[in-house]
Amino acid sequence: MSVLSTGTGALLAFQRALSTVSHNVANVNTEGYTRQRVELAARNPTNYGYGYVGNGTEISGIRRMADELATSRLLDTGGELARLQQLSSLTGRLDSLFSDTATNLAGVWSDFFDSVSALSSNAGGTAERQNLLKEASTLAARFRQLDGQLRSLDSEVNNGLVTGASEVNRLAAEIARINSEIGSDASRAAPDLLDRRDHLVAQLVGYTGGTAVMQDGGPINVFTAGGQPLVVGMEASTLTTVADPYRPERLQLALKGGGTTTLLDQRALGGRIGGLVEFRDTVLDPAAAELGRIAGAMATTFNEGHAAGMDLYGAMGGTFFSLPAPQVNGNARNTGSAAIQAQVSDVSALTGQNLVLRFGDTGWMAMRADTGEAVPMTGSGTAADPFVGDGISLEGSGTPALGARFLLQPTAGAATGINVAITDPSRIAAATPVRGGAALANVGSGVLSDLRVEDAGDPDLLQDAVIEFLDAGQYTIDGAGPFAFTPGQRISANGWSVVLDGIPAAGDQFTISRTGPGSADNGNANRLANLDDARVVSGGTISLNGAVGGLTTMIGSHARQAEYAADAQQVIHDNAKAARDAVAGVNLDEEAANMLRLQQAYQAAAQIISTADTMFQSILSAVAR
């Protein structure tokens, strides 16, 4: 009977070991599966007086071949990989938008300034004027189109946050439920249940980044990358979205738990959600601000140049491009009646950085929205003496409450609202509003050149003026003077300036008079055609063309960096997965060897039972005789 019992026990043990091997093979492609191994142990022997006789084998347990350190490393690398892949995907799409010839800004930008150059070659031509308006409309539409695409990406981020929060809540609730089912001793839990929990934790960390910590050998606690608890024991927090206090159309993430709602530090998030927020803060917002800065700088500079010209009706040039004012949004929690209006005061000083204006004990102060760095301002905030900082003038009204805050977006809305302000081709101010001429009686060699408008707002700009020379070294303007003169000197008065070359004689006169209607003069068109090379951005250090190229380069650089970082992290994650699989993964060759070995053992155990049966039959035969 002892032989039969030993054989039966071995047969059952090897049968169950074979079942475990079969289970491993069946789950070779199951994501997150951890290889299992049957642990066999010798049964307690029986003492027969002359010594102990063994009683065979039994299963002492089924062990998960898990390496907690490798699993933890895989979690860390997986969360970071999810963040970088999300960032790379969205940044790559933005790069394609600005670099593709069908959608980028550079093509229509060049076409517009080419049309201005064409007008300068034929300032009175109707076709050239109509073409200029068409290209201007196309350029303005492209600014609006690109800005609309940026806003669509912003909406995608919002949708991603909502979807991500929903998925995080589902995963956290499931992990908490499994924690409850496992209880306080994970060693007694079903291995497949532990695999299921680990897989859910990996998915959760893929959304939020963070860490997973085993609690007292049983439940797993999961925390976000910022250290906020998502799962603690059998309790799961709830991730939700709340409106940005300055921009209600934009969502932020908050954590609900214990009866409170805590706004998460958006910059501390990891995983896919962290990638979404990082893309919005470090790539999308700067791109929108820079696009608006370029639109505003181009429109303002072109408007100033256009205002210094004269149209075919004989009127001074008006506004060519219309632009919205900078956006100022109050915090939703503000009290009091304070309001702030903003205008661009200096295009070259615009940085495009969003500012937070706060009313404190010492009055209004400004700081950068992204870093909190203080931004100096001058003025008192009244209409007569507005606050001025970063190229923006601010006028306050109403009574602010202590702690009131406003978000200033200096350039973010410029590309949204840019339009061509004129529709009549004859209103294009291609001519210089004043013209110069020399008296027929002049005997010197003086010649006027490069006549241009310096101040289109001067009330005397269109008044006739006479420059008369007392001798080769002195002149008067309408009797005022005398003023010293050297050949090639620029002479200025009444908002205009002109270069006079050569050597005038005493009594020589030069007149500056108003340009009449219908003039084919191209002086102002020439000036407008070269504005794309005007250094009016970043304190006059960068041209408009340079700013356009810089925007494309900035976005492309972000895309390349994100792509390279994601590729590098993929290698790190693959290495971590290989290290985990080296211990926990199913190796078919190894399982085949185990199966063959256990099969042979099973057959041997069956032979033991057969031998026991033969022995038993022999005894029965002996008794029967």
Please tell me whether residue 169 adopts helix, strand or coil conformation.
helix
Task: Give the Cα separation of 367 and 251 in Å (integer).
Answer: 22
Residue 473, Cβ density class (10 Å: 0-12 exposed, 13-18 middle, ≥19 buried): middle
Do 74 and 60 share a structural domain? no
Q: How many structural domains is the chain composed of?
A: 4
Residue 26: Cβ within 10 Å count: 11
Do 147 and 98 share a structural domain? yes
Please tell me whether residue 116 adopts helix, strand or coil conformation.
helix
What is the model's pLDDT at position 323? 92
- Residue 163 in domain: yes
What is the model's pLDDT at position 625? 61
- Check: pTM over 0.85? Answer yes or no: yes
Task: Give the Cα separation of 452 and 465 in Å (integer).
Answer: 14
Please tell me whether residue 338 adopts helix, strand or coil conformation.
coil
Residue 223 φ then ψ, to 5°: -125, 150
Contacts of residue 182, Cβ cutoff 8 Å, sequence gap at least 6: 189, 193, 194, 197, 218, 219
- Residue 305 in domain: no
What is the model's pLDDT at position 5? 85
Tokens of 185: 């001793």
- Residue 416 in domain: no
- Residue 565 in domain: yes
Do 590 and 547 share a structural domain? no
Residue 400 φ then ψ, to 5°: -80, 145
Do 75 and 12 share a structural domain? no
DSSP secondary-structure letter at 283?
I
Task: Give the Cα separation of 469 and 91 in Å (integer).
Answer: 65
- Residue 522 in domain: no
CA atoms within 13 A on the CB side of 594: 22
Rg from Cα positions in the chain: 40
Do 103 and 79 share a structural domain? yes
User: What is the DSSP track for 548-590?
Assistant: HHHHHHHHHHHHHHHHHHHHHHHHHHHHHHHHHHHHHS--HHH
Tokens of 283: 């790539």
- Residue 420 in domain: no
Do 82 and 49 share a structural domain? no
Greatest distance between any 2 Cα atoms in the chain: 162
Task: Give the Cα separation of 83 and 270 in Å (integer).
Answer: 6
Beta strands (DSSP E) in 398-471 are 405-409, 419-420, 434-438, 447-453, 465-471
What's at 308, amino acid-wise?
Answer: A
Do 352 and 263 share a structural domain? no
Do 567 and 612 share a structural domain? no
Question: What tens digit of pLDDT does each residue of 351-393 get?
Answer: 888 899 998 888 889 998 888 889 888 888 888 888 898 889 9
Give the range of the structural domain holding residue 605, as residue numbers without chain letter.
Answer: 2-65+585-624
Last residue in a domain, options 470, 495, 514: 514
Identify the segments of the chain with pLDDT beneath 70: 1, 625
Do 273 and 170 share a structural domain? yes
Strand partners, 123: none
Question: What's the N-to-C CA distance of the chain in angstroms?
Answer: 21
